[in-house]
Amino acid sequence: MNINLVADRPTFVTHLECSMTGEHYPADQVHGLSRVGRPLLVRYDLPAVARAISRDRLAERPMGLWKYRELLPVRNTADIISLGEGETPLIPLDAIGRSAGARAPIVKDEGRLPTGSFKARGLVMALSMAKALGLRVIAMPTNGNAGAAAAAYAARAGIEAVIFCPADTPEVNVREIAAQGARVWRVDGLIDDCGKIVGEGARHRGWFDLSTLKEPYRIEGKKTMGLELAEQLGWRLPDAIFYPTGGGTGLIGMWKAFAELEAIGLIGAERPRMIAVQAEGCAPIVRAFERGERHAERWQDAHTYAAGIRVPAAVGDFLILDAVRDSGGYAVAVSDAEIERAVTDAARGDGLLLCPEGGATLAAWRRALADGHVRPDEQVVLFNCASGLKYPLPDRSGSLKREGPIDWDAL
Ligand SMILES: Cc1ncc(COP(=O)(O)O)c(C=O)c1O
């Protein structure tokens, strides 16, 4: 039995805060967006957290995101609905590094989590809180991975899930969502069109809208990527983090995690440069970054085969852009051809099958080396947010007739 899942530990949530205006909202109540329509962030009594945990105390606990309980919102241990969220490994791409003449970039491989993606982090937290707050039905738009994680954790929490995805969402995700008991609908539009249906359904049917950043707890789960990374690297952060950015919850969450870790004295003031990676066919954050804007206009005709980052508009756009700018990072778009090449090279050279979104971060690192955004000796972490097995793979096999003559020289 994992002690993190059964031990009663103190919790330190004080209130929720509007990310735009700073207005306070009471904890332990159901909340969506703030009054001005912006994400709510969970705040903790950080001096008290600092007294409760230390590097040594954390080192004694088993791995996995629930070890950071004092920095998480779930008050009662009985509300934790875990599927065994373990620590995800850091894997250096040695062959890729050698061929680029650079220090090997390190992949944080989030594909090892339940339901095969980092969405498990956010959704285990959101559904544990939904259970704690007594919610009965949740609804969500998804590009695939988030819906799969939502369905799994909702099943475990005994909560009904209604999921809407673009019609061309990777098939395995759509079927996985239904297999885990959710009602899933394919919509002839993009994720924000699905989000509108969820919003209307919330009004008509009383569903709770679990869209990313429209409720306060998915970001708290995603934040654990930053907590875990810091601990894995011996409480020293890398020089740069390349993050495949759709809604940007992971990037915003890690940025929040680093601030909290500094406030409780586990790290210093140094920060990695946060690099938001998008696809050329859907790059609203890159465009806003380049124009010096704080909000990103909706991207028209969004397209890329990296489904998870096909997000034309993000409710947390200003939080992504603030974090990127404050960190001294930047936003960059890569082409689908570069993504495919990166996926192929990492699989063949280093034996690591990245998802397309993970491939986008490798493609962006290669560009950064070429254009001087990153030096060859810098320590870089790339986020591979899902298992490469969740996406259609090209068929590169040959066929043999078992009784026919075999041309051995051709094999
Ligand atoms: C594999 C993958 N990478 C990246 C993303 C984007 O994540 P975020 O919403 O944190 O920007 C998603 C979201 O669907 C995803 O599934």
Nearest residue by C-alpha to atom 15 in ligand 1: 308
Residues 1-16, mean pLDDT to the nearest whole number: 96
| Residue 293: per-residue pLDDT | 98
**Is 173 touching ligand 1 by the criterion CB < 6 Å?**
no
Q: In the prediction, which pLDDT does 55 show?
A: 98
pLDDT for the residue numbered 223: 98
Give the whole-angstrom CA distance, residue 53 versus residue 48. 9
Tens-digit pLDDT profile for residues 260-308: 999 999 999 999 999 999 999 999 999 999 999 999 999 999 999 999 9
Question: Residue 331: which pLDDT band, with cuts at 50, 70 and 90?
Answer: very high
Residue 254 has pLDDT above 90, yes or no: yes
CATH 3.40.50.1100 for domain 119-209, yes or no, is: yes
For the chain, give the mean pLDDT.
97
Q: What SS3 class is residue 309?
A: helix
CATH class held by domain 90-116+218-389: alpha beta
- CA-based torsion, 163, 150, 309, 283: positive or negative: positive
Rounded mean pLDDT of 84-100? 98
DSSP assignment of 25-38: EESSS---S-TTS-
* CA nearest to 239, candidates 326, 372, 107, 328: 328
Strand partners, 331: 276
Q: How far is CA 214 from CA 19, 234, 245, 262, in A?
A: 12, 33, 17, 26
pLDDT interval class at 122 (50, 70, 90): very high
What pLDDT does 87 receive? 97
- Candidates 168, 252, 309: which one to mutate for ligand 1, based on the most atoms within 8 Å of Cβ? 309
Structure confidence at residue 346 as a pLDDT band (50, 70, 90)? very high
How close is the Cα of 379 to the center of ligand 1, in Å? 23
Strand ranges across the sheet with 208-209:
183-187, 160-166, 137-141, 208-209
Ligand 1 centroid from CA 161, angstroms = 20
- pLDDT-based confidence at residue 234 (cuts at 50, 70, 90): very high
Q: How far apart are CA 251 and CA 373, in angstroms?
A: 19
Distance 54 CA to ligand 1 centre (A): 31
Domain locations in the chain as residue ranges:
3-79, 90-116+218-389, 119-209
Reported as a single tens digit per residue, the pLDDT across 13-40 is 999 999 999 999 999 999 999 999 999 9
pLDDT at 90: 98
pLDDT band at 72 (very low <50, low <70, confident <90, very high): very high
Confidence of residue 343 (pLDDT cuts 50, 70, 90): very high
Is residue 382 within 8 Å of 365, Cβ to Cβ? yes
**pLDDT tens across 97-107, in order?**
999 999 999 99
Strand-pairing partners, residue 383, are 108
249 lines ligand 1 (CB under 6 A): yes
> Helix (H, G, I), strand (E, B), or coil: what is residue 351?
coil
Give the predicted TM-score (pTM) of the model.
0.97
> In one letter, which amino acid is 140?
M
pLDDT of 202 > 90? The answer is: yes
The DSSP bridge pattern shows strands 273-279 and 380-384 to be: unpaired
Residue 1's pLDDT band (cuts 50, 70, 90): confident
Q: Measured between alpha carbons, how far is 222 from 400 in angstroms, rounded to an integer?
A: 46
Q: What burial class does residue 58 get, using C-beta atoms within 10 Å of its C-beta: 0-12 exposed, 13-18 middle, 19+ buried?
A: middle
Give mean pLDDT, residues 193-207.
97
321, 357, 361: residue to mutate for ligand 1 pocket, most atoms within 8 A of CB: 357
Mean pLDDT of 339-368: 98
